[in-house]
Amino acid sequence: MEQNTPVSTNLKENESYIRTSCEKCADIIIRPMRLGKEKKVECLVVYLEVAVNNMMLTDSVIGKLINHFWEIPSDQMKEFLEYNSLGISDVKELPTMEEAMAAMLAGNAIFFMDGFDKAVKISSKGYPGMNVSQAEAEKVLRGSREGFTDSVKTNSALVRKRLRDTCMKVEELQVGVRSHTTVQLLYIEDLARKDILQDIKSRLASFAIDGVLDSGVIEQLTEEVWYSPFPQFQTTERPDRAAMEILNGRIVLLCDNTPMALLLPTTFHSFMVSSEDQYNRFEMVSFLRLLRYLAMLAATLLPGLYLATIRFHTQILPTNLILSFAEARAGVPFSSVVELLFLELSFELIREAGVRMPGSLGNAIGIVGGLIIGQAAVSANLVSPIVVMIVALTALGSLAIPSEEFSSPFRLLKYLFLFSGGFLGIYGIVLGIYLVVSHLAGLLSFHIPYLTPFVHKGSAKGQGDGILRMPIWKMQNRPVYTQPEEKLRLKATEGRPQ
């Protein structure tokens, strides 16, 4: 168990503790000095070299504090420090050396004074980080262009900018035995369900790990069904999306050093909803959602259905189409299963190479590589043109899913249906669908059924936000994540046209 060492009134003891702990740490500055008009009071400032502004600059908080100490009598320094008579912003007294060291490693300056039994944390500019920029992974045509940064404090401020309500709480936790990564939970107190919030906290406290460098580590350590290919946490890099979900009763988890926020709990349908669906008219949104669900089915089932049809169930196709398929496959030396598997793996290889290559070169590799390999394979009579079209439609279907992390399980399940359809026919497709739906029906995300709102009784009543979206003035209820007594989120006032 970690010991708590109190800050001593003897400055030499505190300095000895710090120098022992920070031995061979060239980036940590330990600066002793004598302050007061008579220069009799020994003081000590400890800070990270790149995280704290020059102490003597007049526009820095710590600079103002030290410059003030040059002017007051030595016997008044302790009283001034204890009562903070200047009202300096974000100054906090820390009673233990462990708290002082943690605050210093978080990017603050720590001030010690001989005879004073507290360390004083003074905030400064902090670690260098990325500024607020446009979201890259979630491209939208309408809505805010701001995206999360690597700083958890900046990210929570971006959400607070949109939800200016003291009912929105920001709870701060530390995870990682050595990294001491800051994690924040954002939620509206009277909307978020208490059992879900408590479950999230208990899962965060259920593991001890050396370091957490990204929210993906937390996701893997706290998910309930570890073997499921379907993500049980939804991610977003858009502050407006996070604020929107908080208003729906969900809880947002922000992790320091990552621009991705986790949305808890999550459901199958929430991954199929785009950030801009709330801002556009219901007719177009409903059409696009139907298109996304059809794209999801195509990305999963199309290769398997093609193989099942041409190998086992040719009677369901028109004669001209069967003859066209047979003519296209004439001379292909491989079986239809091997042919389709070869082209699918080739496309996945091109896709991975395009992602890893920098900038516009990656886009060029994806486009040119697909065209060259597809055309060359057809010209060499290694694959048939219809298989190239099947693979292209499958790829387009996976790319049409709004969430890249949610398209990943369908890219894997595609091979399950490819083999089941290729060797068992339509019966293999039906068996695969049964297994996948059974798995999804039993999956929970923090007590919420994964197939909500399709299986949860009453969850869609008055919500109007399923596959088809209702006009926004008819979406009166919040989703099932919310406390039952706070379901109503919209009510008509007098003069509403019917």
Residue-wise pLDDT for 315-374, tens only, equals: 888 888 888 888 888 888 888 899 899 888 888 888 888 777 776 666 667 666 776 777
Positive or negative, the Cα torsion across 459, 460, 462, 466? positive
What pLDDT does 132 receive? 73
Mean of the pLDDT values across residues 418-442? 94
Asked whether the predicted pLDDT for residue 498 surpasses 60, the reply is no
pLDDT-derived band of residue 436, with 50, 70 and 90 as boundaries? Answer: very high
- Give the 3-state DSSP-derived string for the chain, with helices as H, strands as E and coil as C: CCCCCECCCCHHHHHHHHHHHCCCCCCEEEEEEEECCCCCEEEEEEEECCCCCCCCCCCCHHHHHHHHHCCCCHHHHHHHHHHCCCCCCCEEEECEHHHHHHHHHCCCEEEEECCCCCEEEECCCCCCCCCCCECCCCCCCCCCCECCCCCHHHHHHHHHCCCCCCCEEEEEEEECCCCCEEEEEEEECCCECHHHHHHHHHHHCCCCCCCCCCHHHHHHHHCCCCCCCCCCCEEECCHHHHHHHHHCCCEEEEECCCCCEEEECCCHHHHCCCHHHHCCCHHHHHHHHHHHHHHHHHHHHHHHHHHHHHHCCHHHCCHHHHHHHHHHCCCCCCCHHHHHHHHHHHHHHHHHHHHHCCHHHHHHHHHHHHHHHHHHHHHCCCCCHHHHHHHHHHHHHHHCCCCHHHHHHHHHHHHHHHHHHHHHCHHHHHHHHHHHHHHHHCCEECCEECCCCCCCCCCCCCCCECCCECCHHHCCECCCCECHHHCECCCCCCCCCC
- Report the predicted TM-score, pTM, of the whole model to 2 decimal places: 0.83
pLDDT in tens, 12-36: 999 999 999 998 888 898 989 888 8
Highest mean pLDDT among 38-42, 126-130, 337-341: 337-341
Q: What percent of the chain lies above the pLDDT cut of 70?
A: 89
Mean pLDDT is lowest, of 191-200, 282-291, 422-431, 489-498, for 489-498
Q: How confident is the model at residue 224 (pLDDT cuts 50, 70, 90)?
A: confident
Give the angle 113-77-32 at the CA atoms, nearest 5°.
30
When the pLDDT of each residue in the chain is averaged and rounded to a whole number, the result is 85
Q: How many residues does the chain have?
A: 498
Mean pLDDT of 283-304: 94
- Distances from the Cα of 285 to the Cα of 143, 273, 281, 465, 474, angstroms: 15, 9, 6, 10, 15
Contact between 406 and 231 under an 8 Å Cβ cutoff? The reply is yes
Confidence check: pLDDT of 90 > 70 = no
Q: What phi and psi, each to the nearest 5 degrees, are found at residue 235?
A: -115, 155
Highest mean pLDDT of the ranges 30-39, 145-154, 335-344, 407-416 = 407-416
Which of 67, 115, 112, 114 lies closest to 94, judged by CA?
112
Q: Among 180, 25, 11, 185, which residue's Cα sits nearest to residue 103? A: 180
Residue that wins the pLDDT comparison between 36 and 440: 440
Quick one: which of 244, 246, 222, 217 has its CA closest to 232? 222
User: Distance (Å, rounded) from C-alpha 121 to C-alpha 7?
Assistant: 13
pLDDT score recorded for residue 347: 85
Confidence at residue 159, expressed as pLDDT on a 0 to 100 scale? 93
276 or 80: whose pLDDT is higher? 276
pLDDT for 85 equals 46
pLDDT of 1 reads 39
Across residues 283-301, what is the average pLDDT?
93
CB 60 within 8 A of CB 54: yes
Higher per-residue confidence, 369 vs 419: 419
When pLDDT is averaged across residues 379-390 and rounded to a whole number, the result is 85
195 vs 446: CA distance, rounded Å = 9
Measured CA distances, 312 to 306, 336, 420, 423, 426 (Å): 10, 12, 12, 9, 8
Distances (CA, A) of 5 to 8, 32, 112, 118: 9, 21, 15, 11
Backbone φ and ψ of 104, nearest 5°: -65, -40
**Residue 3 pLDDT:** 66
* Res 363: pLDDT: 64
Average pLDDT over residues 162-186: 91
The answer to whether residue 96 scores a pLDDT higher than 90 is yes
**Alpha carbon distance 201, 173 (integer Å):** 9
User: Which is more confident, 453 or 243?
Assistant: 243
Mean pLDDT of 123-150: 76
CA distance 434 to 413: 13
Tell me whether residue 93 is exposed, middle or buried, using C-beta atoms within 10 angstroms of its C-beta: 0 to 12, 13 to 18, 19 or more. middle
Mean pLDDT across 266-287:
89
Buried b / exposed e along 114-130 (16+ C-beta atoms within 10 A): bebebbbbbbbebeeee
pLDDT band at residue 434 under the 50/70/90 scheme:
very high
Query: Is pLDDT above 50 for 207?
Result: yes
Both tokens of 329, joined, read: 């496959």
**Rounded mean pLDDT of 223-239?**
91
Q: What count of Cα atoms within 13 Å lies in the side-chain half-sphere of residue 175?
A: 27
Answer yes or no: are the C-beta atoms of 229 and 184 closer than 8 Å: no
The alpha carbon dihedral of 30, 31, 34, 35 has a sign of negative
Distance CA 168, CA 248 (A): 12
Q: What are 271's two structure tokens?
A: 């991954």
